């Protein structure tokens, strides 16, 4: 018995005229290929969808049009911008295209590519009585890969993602992370025959009827589909291919990542019980020790209190020292209790770090003025190191609070932690997963902090 060989065929349609605003794409496609059949997949270049929907706009300056379509800039190099556009797609130039459009105009992506795909599919069903899948495609570059390829930006009646998790491979091994971007694979197949400049904006793929369904966007393990919907209405369509911000490990470009880590670094005083990854803290220390320092020294030391016993022992000793100091200052018991409670952020944190300043390599000049300035240089370097540390923690999605309390009882901290006499504790950093999202940061006008001479 001969084993069935899986195969498919894909071809580009000839005879699609220059598309004008208001054209019915389903009618143009049906006229060019009246032999379409159930289970076919139509791969439609977004450019003709945009033209039919009147997405041509006058724009003497393409950059201005890109600005209007941009939600955020992800990365920039020279004139090239990778941005997130209003459709939620991350791509070059927001998808604004100045080619194959009259001079002085640019072409924008369809307003809702999934809705466009649904309209074409419904039109073909009405005209030809067939159930097909429709994928609206556009050309993307990709991180870490040279060259361009077509991907799906809109879809209807197509299994956009095949979720194979929970199934097994040919050897019986469990699949735990495999989700196939089926719609993107279909788009790439169509691009091979459409070409970029041959005037063939539509391709047909035949032979894979299992990727066409009654409306389900995402299939489950082993191809199991969810509830059917008519013509793809009510499904996510190609939107399912766009990672949410929460799940996207590579959401930020280099410059944006630096800016966001700095601006999103907030003092966090309430933490969850979720354990802190010690590796994340060590990566933050590695960032800390890249800070500038005088005389090519390394004045930073970080004491990491990873056990609850070490944290409690230190905080109890510090509390006793604070209380004794406050009572010597004549503070009332109510005032003492109130001030001690301010240190609770350290006690409730699941992880503590004590940054310490060491003066190894410092110069001694023999007069108070220059020796004082020498120490100040080292203290400034310590602050730079701790700032790096806090920003890196924010990049690890960890909250932190730098509390100065250890500086008021350094001898107690050194004795409790068994530190060398030359190590000066410079506060303590409470670290953990934030119990809630921080509120909006009040805007500060940088101009108010600048003097120009």
Please answer whether residues 137 and 152 qualify as being in contact, where contact means their C-beta atoms are separated by less than 8 angstroms.
Answer: yes
Give the Å distances, CA to CA, from 273 to 176, 342, 431: 27, 20, 11
When pLDDT is averaged across residues 274-293 and rounded to a whole number, the result is 95
Asked if pLDDT for residue 429 goes beyond 60, the answer is yes
When pLDDT is averaged across residues 441-447 and rounded to a whole number, the result is 82
Angle formed at CA 171 by CA 169 and CA 177, multiple of 5 degrees: 30
Instruction: Give pLDDT, residue 378.
Output: 95
Q: What is the pLDDT confidence band of residue 255, given thresholds at 50, 70 and 90?
A: low
Handedness of CA 404, 410, 415, 419 (dihedral sign): positive
Q: What is the pLDDT confidence band of residue 254, given thresholds at 50, 70 and 90?
A: low
Instruction: Give pLDDT, residue 220.
Output: 44
Instruction: Give pLDDT, residue 228.
Output: 36
* Phi and psi angles of residue 217, each rounded to the nearest 5 degrees, phi first: -85, -35
Please answer whether residues 158 and 182 qualify as being in contact, where contact means their C-beta atoms are separated by less than 8 angstroms.
Answer: yes
- Specify the DSSP class assigned to residue 357: E
Question: How far is Cα 395 from Cα 265, in angstroms, rounded to an integer?
Answer: 8
Instruction: Give pLDDT, residue 261.
Output: 66
Q: What is the pLDDT confidence band of residue 257, given thresholds at 50, 70 and 90?
A: low
Question: How far is Cα 393 from Cα 395, in angstroms, rounded to an integer?
Answer: 5
Burial class (CB in 10 A: 0-12, 13-18, 19+), 447: exposed
| DSSP string computed for 373-404 | HHHHHHHHHHHHHHHHHHHHHHHTT-EEEEE-
Span 313-332, pLDDT tens digits: 999 998 888 888 888 888 88
Instruction: Give pLDDT, residue 277.
Output: 95
Please answer whether residues 155 and 135 qualify as being in contact, where contact means their C-beta atoms are separated by less than 8 angstroms.
Answer: yes
Q: What percent of the chain has pLDDT over 90?
A: 53
When pLDDT is averaged across residues 246-250 and rounded to a whole number, the result is 75
Please answer whether residues 292 and 377 qualify as being in contact, where contact means their C-beta atoms are separated by less than 8 angstroms.
Answer: no
Span 358-375, pLDDT tens digits: 999 999 998 999 989 999
Asked if pLDDT for residue 97 goes beyond 50, the answer is yes
Span 194-223, pLDDT tens digits: 976 678 999 999 999 999 984 434 444 333
Instruction: Give pLDDT, residue 230.
Output: 40
Angle formed at CA 300 by CA 294 and CA 303, multiple of 5 degrees: 175
The secondary element (H helix, E strand) that includes residue 305 is: strand 300-305
State the chain's mean pLDDT as an integer.
86
Instruction: Give pLDDT, residue 213.
Output: 80
Residue 220 neighbours by CB distance under 10 Å: 16
Q: What is the pLDDT confidence band of residue 170, given thresholds at 50, 70 and 90?
A: confident
When pLDDT is averaged across residues 410-432 and rounded to a whole number, the result is 95
Angle formed at CA 102 by CA 151 and CA 238, multiple of 5 degrees: 20
When pLDDT is averaged across residues 133-147 and rounded to a whole number, the result is 91
Give the Å distances, CA to CA, from 114 to 49, 60, 104: 11, 29, 28
Asked if pLDDT for residue 43 goes beyond 50, the answer is yes
Query: Domains of the chain (ranges plus CATH)?
Result: 9-55+109-241 (3.30.1330.100), 254-449 (3.40.109.10)
Which of the residue ranges 9-23, 180-194, 212-226, 385-399 would you say has the lowest mean pLDDT? Answer: 212-226
Buried/exposed 167-198: b ≥16 CB within 10 Å, e otherwise = beeeeeeeeeeeeebbbbebbbbbbebbeeee
Dihedral class, residue 356 (left if φ above 0, else alpha if ψ from -120 to 50, else beta): beta
Q: Name every residue whose Cβ is closer than 8 Å to that of residue 409 and which is 6 or more positions away in sequence.
A: 317, 318, 321, 322, 325
Q: What is the pLDDT confidence band of residue 142, given thresholds at 50, 70 and 90?
A: confident
Can you list the positions of beta strands (E) in 79-211? Answer: 80-85, 90-92, 105-107, 133-142, 145-156, 161-163, 179-180, 202-206
| DSSP string computed for 178-199 | -EE-HHHHHHHHHHHHH-SSSS
Instruction: Give pLDDT, residue 211.
Output: 92
Instruction: Give pLDDT, residue 229.
Output: 37
Instruction: Give pLDDT, residue 259.
Output: 65
Question: How far is Cα 200 from Cα 191, in angstroms, rounded to an integer?
Answer: 10
Handedness of CA 382, 387, 393, 396 (dihedral sign): negative
Instruction: Give pLDDT, residue 195.
Output: 75
CA torsion 220→224→227→229, rounded to 10°? 100
């Amino acid at each position: 018995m001969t084993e069935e060989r899986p195969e498919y065929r894909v071809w580009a349609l000839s005879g699609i005229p220059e598309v004008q605003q208001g054209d019915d794409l389903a009618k143009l496609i049906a006229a060019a290929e009246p032999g379409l059949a159930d289970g076919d997949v139509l791969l439609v270049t977004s450019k003709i969808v945009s033209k039919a929907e009147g997405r041509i706009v006058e724009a003497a300056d393409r950059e201005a049009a890109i600005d209007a379509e941009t939600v955020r800039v992800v990365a920039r190099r020279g004139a090239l911008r990778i941005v997130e556009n209003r459709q939620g797609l991350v791509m070059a130039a927001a998808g604004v295209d100045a080619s194959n459009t009259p001079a002085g105009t640019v072409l924008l992506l369809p307003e809702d590519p999934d809705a466009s795909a649904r309209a074409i599919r419904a039109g073909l069903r009405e005209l030809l009585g067939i159930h097909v899948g429709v994928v609206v495609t556009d050309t993307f570059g990709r991180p870490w890969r040279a060259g361009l390829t077509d991907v799906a930006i809109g879809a209807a009646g197509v299994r956009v993602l095949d979720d194979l998790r929970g199934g097994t491979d040919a050897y019986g091994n469990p699949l735990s992370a495999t989700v196939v971007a089926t719609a993107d694979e279909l788009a790439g197949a169509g691009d091979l025959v459409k070409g970029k400049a041959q005037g063939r904006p539509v391709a047909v793929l035949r032979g894979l009827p299992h990727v066409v369904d009654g409306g389900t966007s995402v299939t489950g393990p082993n191809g199991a589909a969810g509830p059917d919907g008519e013509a793809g209405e009510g499904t996510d369509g190609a939107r399912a291919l766009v990672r949410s911000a929460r799940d996207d490990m590579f959401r930020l470009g280099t410059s944006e990542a630096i800016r966001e880590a700095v601006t999103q670094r907030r003092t966090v005083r309430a933490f969850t019980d979720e354990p802190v990854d010690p590796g994340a803290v060590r990566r933050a220390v590695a960032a800390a020790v890249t800070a500038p320092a005088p005389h090519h020294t390394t004045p930073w030391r970080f004491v990491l209190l990873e056990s609850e016993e070490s944290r409690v022992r230190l905080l109890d000793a510090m509390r006793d020292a604070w209380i004794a100091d406050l009572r010597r200052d004549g503070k009332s018991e109510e005032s003492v209790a109130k001030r001690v409670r301010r240190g609770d952020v350290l006690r409730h944190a699941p992880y503590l770090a004590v940054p310490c300043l060491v003066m190894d390599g410092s110069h001694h000049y023999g007069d108070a003025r220059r020796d004082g300035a020498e120490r100040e240089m080292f203290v400034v370097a310590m602050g730079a190191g701790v700032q790096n540390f806090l920003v890196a923690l924010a990049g690890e999605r960890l909250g932190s609070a730098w509390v100065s309390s250890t500086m008021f009882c350094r001898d107690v901290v050194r004795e409790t932690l068994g530190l060398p006499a030359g190590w000066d504790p410079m506060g303590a950093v409470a670290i953990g997963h934030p119990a809630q999202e921080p509120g909006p940061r009040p805007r500060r006008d940088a101009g108010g902090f600048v003097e120009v001479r």
